[in-house]
Amino acid sequence: MKGTKNLTQGPIYSQLFKLAMPIMATSFIQMAYSLTDMAWVGRLGSEAATVVGSVGIFVWMTTALSLLGKIGSEVSIAQSVGAQNEEDARSFASHNFTISLIISIIWGLIFIVFAHPIIDIFKLDGHDVAGGEIANNAVSYLRIISLGFPLIFLTSAFTGMYNSVGRSTIPFYISGTGLVFNMVLDPIFIFTFNLGTDGAGYATIISQAIVLLIFFYNIKYKNPILGGFAFFTRLKKKYTKRILKLGSPVALFNLLFAFVNLFLSRLASEYGGHIGVMTLTTGALIEGITWNTAQGFSTALGTFIAQNYAAGKYDRVIKAWHVTLKMTAVFGSLCTLLFVFFGSEVFSLFVPHEPEAFKAGGLYLQISGLSQLFMTLEITSQGVFYGIGRTTPPAIISIFFNYSRIPLALILTGSIAIGGIALGVEGIWWAVSITSICKGTFLTLWFVSIKNKVLGKDSKGYTLE
């Protein structure tokens, strides 16, 4: 099939590694947009970092919702490639683009119109949004960032298309170009033009627009895939239903995860003020070191397994799972050591001039560091489930334990009096770490319990329902 790579033959380790490294690097680049903004804005003080961090949760929600089309088409295109069905692969690609564009425009408008009440959720200044400088700056920053939400959706759609056909290096190079622009534009807009946090927003959406334009050029002219396909299409039930069926659980649990963090941020504001919000949001960005590495391998694993599962090569599915587990487990263990023993030093890179801020962040990283290995187990297992077309189990595990963070945090902070426990804002960090450990453990055990049934000799492989 033109413009695709066959992953059903050849050495498993090298194929996975070559596929995963660009995906992982692309994930880091996407994370680096927020880290770059935070690194520059942090020099303005912890209040500015709070603005970027709080709005970052809504960017997280946007990225989560973009998975609705990305994952559904990514799995479907990869399985179509494995089944040698180019017509279906092209149709999934066109539907992915159209669905992503429609949803992103509606989503962006919601945040632009309702920016004030949305930011007021945090109570960043301890009172209504109209009276607080931090909150007002957050409203302005949110509206700027919201203009770029369609760019996030469509970039995610194109990235998924290239990943699904085994050409993950292309999104890496394109996203890397955008990061370079963002790194150059951030200090110019923030300091030279004296736009503060708004400047970080302008730099980000300009960089994202450049990335999308490069994607358009590549997929249309320079590096076309699937023999070429139409960006816009009239939605057909067969393809739309399958994309939404596969993508909905993934988008839902990531979206609900973001809502949980929204609640926890509000709780952190109550117990720790704006330092508490900054610690949670910036700490989550730093944890992206672990998350994005594991996600790169997980995405590669999902693509690899989708092709081999569709081709009936179940032995390669199991071997790929074992190889990926070993690689991600080693990295998760290293991140645990880094966060537990050097948490404050890592956090000080983002708020260097406020000891109170990076000491609070160091405590967060020490506690969350205990769960990094289990985070890699969870994300690796997600890749296996996605590859065999079963996106519901990861959603069930994630939704249950992510929402368990709310009552657990209320108990551990002392909001709900049980057994005299009252850890304050530190209780939120423990709630996050404990539930991450549970997610990794239970999702891995779930796949172990069903793998013989799913990958047995009687499995039929891929069918388009």
Helix/strand/coil (H/E/C) assignment for every residue in the chain: CCCCCCCCCCCHHHHHHHHHHHHHHHHHHHHHHHHHHHHHHHHHCHHHHHHHHHHHHHHHHHHHHHHHHHHHHHHHHHHHHHCCCHHHHHHHHHHHHHHHHHHHHHHHHHHHHCHHHHHHHHCCCCCCHHHCHHHHHHHHHHHHHHCCHHHHHHHHHHHHHHHHCCCCHHHHHHHHHHHHHHHHHHHHHHHHCCCHHHHHHHHHHHHHHHHHHHHHHHHHHHCCCCCCCCCCCCCCHHHHHHHHHHHHHHHHHHHHHHHHHHHHHHHHHHHHHHHHHHHHHHHHHHHHHHHHHHHHHHHHHHHHHHHHHHCCCHHHHHHHHHHHHHHHHHHHHHHHHHHHHHHHHHHCCCCCCCHHHHHHHHHHHHHHHCCHHHHHHHHHHHHHHHHCCCCHHHHHHHHHHHHHHHHHHHHHHCCCCCCCCCCCCHHHHHHHHHHHHHHHHHHHHHHHHHHHHHCCCCCCCCCCC
Res 458: pLDDT: 39
- The answer to whether the pTM exceeds 0.85 is no
At residue 296, φ and ψ (nearest 5 deg) are: -60, -45
Res 240: pLDDT: 94
Q: What is the CB neighbour count within 10 angstroms for residue 458? A: 5
pLDDT in tens, the chain (465 residues): 555 667 778 888 788 878 888 877 777 776 776 777 877 887 888 888 889 888 989 998 999 899 988 888 788 888 888 888 888 999 999 999 999 999 999 999 999 999 999 999 887 765 433 347 888 999 999 999 999 999 999 999 999 898 888 887 898 889 889 888 998 999 999 999 999 999 999 999 999 999 999 999 998 888 888 878 889 999 999 999 999 988 888 888 788 888 898 999 999 989 998 889 989 988 988 898 888 888 888 888 888 888 888 888 888 888 888 889 998 999 899 999 999 999 989 888 877 777 888 889 999 999 999 999 999 999 999 999 988 888 889 989 988 999 999 999 999 999 998 888 899 999 999 999 999 999 999 999 999 998 888 776 434 444 433
- What span, in angstroms and rounded, lies between the C-alpha atoms of 131 and 141? 17
Res 1: pLDDT: 55
Res 3: pLDDT: 58
Res 464: pLDDT: 36
Res 310: pLDDT: 83
- For 112, the token pair is 């632009």
Res 4: pLDDT: 65
Res 98: pLDDT: 95
Res 460: pLDDT: 44
Res 92: pLDDT: 93
